[in-house]
């Protein structure tokens, strides 16, 4: 079994956090570890990743439209008049 100190070092968190999570788990199982409504605020990195996902989703949608147009009418279907 891994000690709290070892787990904290391995995952870059405090021993206090490990102890708190352990207590939450022992009291409520997996449900005890769930974020409460309005839980932790997203970090700047999370906002950056969400924006990147939005950009990639948009690009994928555009590529899908282009592929469908090419399949239906070939390259001439891509020209706008």
Q: Where are the domains of the chain?
A: 1-31, 43-81
Span 33-80, pLDDT tens digits: 676 655 667 788 889 999 999 999 999 999 999 999 899 887 676 666
User: In this structure, what token pair is assigned to residue 56?
Assistant: 């990639």
Has this prediction a pTM greater than 0.75? no
Span 19-38, pLDDT tens digits: 888 888 787 777 766 766 55
Q: What is the dihedral of CA 72, 75, 76, 80, to 10 degrees?
A: 100
Q: Which residues contact 14 (CB under 8 A, 6 or more apart)?
A: 8
């Amino acid at each position: 079994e891994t000690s709290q100190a070892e787990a904290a070092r391995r995952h870059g968190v405090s021993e206090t956090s490990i102890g708190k999570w352990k207590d939450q788990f022992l009291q409520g199982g997996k449900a005890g570890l769930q974020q409460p409504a309005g839980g932790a605020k997203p970090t700047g990195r999370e906002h950056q990743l969400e924006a990147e996902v939005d950009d990639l989703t948009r690009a994928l949608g555009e590529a899908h439209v282009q592929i469908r147009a090419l399949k239906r009418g070939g390259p001439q279907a891509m020209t706008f008049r």
